Structure formats: C-alpha cells, structure tokens
Amino acid sequence: MRLLRSFVPSLLLSSAAIVSAASSWSFEDATVAVQAKGAGVGAGAKDKLSPTSPLSKYVSLGSADTLKLQLTTVDGKKAARPHQAFLTLTDPTTGVEESFIFNINDSGKGSVNLAHKDLPHQFLTSAKPIPASIVIGSFGSSTPYKSKVFDFDLARDPNVPLAVPEKPLRYAAEKEIHHIFRDDPRSPPKIITLVFAVAVVAALPALFIVWVTLGANASHLGKALGNAPVSHILFFGSIMAMEGIFFLYYTSWNLFQTLPAALAVGFVAYISGSRALSEVQERRLAGLR
C-alpha cells in the first residue's frame, strides 16, 4: 500500500512533465557560425546552441562577416513548422529591438543570416554586447518559446564611416489633405444646342410629309378615340410628358428629380400604350387602315 502511495505521485509528475514537454515549442540541433567574406560554404567554427542556457562566450561579428544560424524547431518532441520564428536583438542601453525572420520549411529546419548592413545603426554604436534571443510561437495550445541564446559582440572597422540618418524616424501627423471634387458637368455652348434644336424642328415637316405619302390614316382618329379614348389620350399625353421631363432635366432638374417623374410617366405609358396599341391591332385585323 505504501509502495502504491509513493508510486502514484511519481507517475502523475511524470505524466505532467510529458504533457508539458509535448505542448511547448523549442528547438534542437542549433548551431551558430561566423563566416568571413570570401570564405567557402561551411567555413568558420560552429558553436552549438542550447534552448535552456545561453552560449557561454560572445559571438563576434566583424564588419565583413556573415552570421549563419541554423536550427530545427520542435513542438514537444516532434519537429514542426511554427507560425512565427524570429531571432530578436535587444540593445541593453536604449531598449531598441529588431527581429529577423527564420526561413523555415515544413520539416522544421530553418536558418537566418545576418551581416552589419542588416542591423540598425543603434546596434553598431552600442558599447555593450547585444543579447540575441530566439522566439518561436504558433497557433494552438502549445506554449511559445522565448529565451536568450547568446550575446553579440559587434566589431566595427574604424576606417569605414557609419551611416547614421541625419534625423531619426518619427511618426507624426501629416498635413491635412483637402480633396477637390470634380466640377459638375456643364452644358454645351448655346449655339450648338440651337443648331441641333433647329435641325430637329426642321425634320418634323419632312417626317409629316413622309407619313402622309405612305398612307396616313388620320381619318381613323375619331374611330380610335371612340373605341379607347382614355388609352389613346393617356398614351399620347405620357409621350409628351416624357419629352417635357427630358427638357427639364436638360435645363434645371437633377437626376434625383428626373428618375421618379420618369418612372411614373413610364408606368402610365406602358399601361395606356398596351391598350391603345391593342385597339390599333384590332382595326388592322378587321381590314381597316
């Protein structure tokens, strides 16, 4: 019984440790190397990084060197690709931070390269080593990882001047923008309008003559008004009203005034025109023209 009592807590602690390990992001097989300019691939000594304790020595990066950091991200004990993975540098004096994204494939293997040209000038002028941390996180319930892995010692070439901006970047309000809308469309010159109006009026007599020549049936006006007086009067009146609406739209009305009136007159023209044209069709079928 005593053996069982002592075994159960140990089993629970072991299970909790396994669950915790299985639900936390970390990395493994991480190495950092500094390659001099012109060195071949794989040149430079590699130092192994631990996810639990930072590197005991500084990583010195010269002005012509390139830092290469490689690792494999793991979720618990399984290699996986996280949503985010960064190498974050923090200036201990100013608190300025800069993050560099790891290029990670589906197997969890990733890398990041750094050179002096990639770093803000605040880091290059810092008198203290720059702490470097690895940040790993993703969607889901797994605990993200963030921990310092080594210290940067940035060595500058005194013969190369440091490019420092004259004015530091600041976010501030810009000048107010005043949007200028396009002017309302203007009518054409009156002389052009008069020319086309005269042309339309002059065409009316010619249209009337052609109508008479083709066999006008004006003698049927009385019969048409006798069979469907309301339909013919409303249909003709709606056509004239629509022309009046177009004239008002051209001279003074806007689109919001024109559309309701045009819809109402158009509805009357549709109803009365259907009955009026039906009456005309009945006379034609009866042999009257």
Q: Do the strands 109-114 and 66-75 form a parallel or antiparallel pair, or are they unpaired?
A: antiparallel
**Residue 239 DSSP code:** H
DSSP-assigned states of every residue in 27-77: EEEEEEEEE-TTPPTT-S-EEEE-SSS--SSEEEE-TT-EEEEEEEEEETT
How far from each other are the two terminal CA atoms of the chain, in whole angstroms? 119
For position 39, what pLDDT does the model report? 63
Structure tokens at 42: 């794989």
For position 238, what pLDDT does the model report? 94
> Which one, of 145, 192, 143, lies nearest residue 50 by Cα?
145
- C-alpha separations of 96 from 66, 130, 167, 208 in Å: 22, 10, 17, 88
What are the residues whose beta carbons fall under 8 Å from the beta carbon of 278, sequence distance 6 or more? none
For position 41, what pLDDT does the model report? 57
- pLDDT digit of tens for each residue in the chain (289 aa)? 443 344 444 444 444 444 444 579 999 999 999 988 766 655 567 899 999 999 999 888 888 888 999 999 999 889 999 999 999 999 888 888 899 999 999 999 999 999 888 888 778 777 788 899 999 999 988 999 999 999 988 877 666 666 665 665 566 778 888 888 887 777 778 888 889 889 988 888 888 888 777 766 777 777 777 788 899 899 999 999 999 999 899 888 898 999 999 999 999 999 999 998 888 888 888 777 6
> Which one, of 141, 84, 78, lies nearest residue 110 by Cα?
84
CB 88 within 8 A of CB 98: yes
For position 92, what pLDDT does the model report? 85
With residue 201 as reference, give the H or E element that holds it.
Answer: helix 190-213
For position 260, what pLDDT does the model report? 94
3-state secondary structure of 170: coil
For position 2, what pLDDT does the model report? 44
CB count in 10 Å sphere of residue 78: 8
What are the residues whose beta carbons fall under 8 Å from the beta carbon of 100, sequence distance 6 or more? 86, 87, 88, 89, 112, 114, 118
For position 13, what pLDDT does the model report? 43
Task: Give 244-253 pLDDT, tens digit per residue.
Answer: 999 899 888 8
Structure tokens at 74: 């793991």
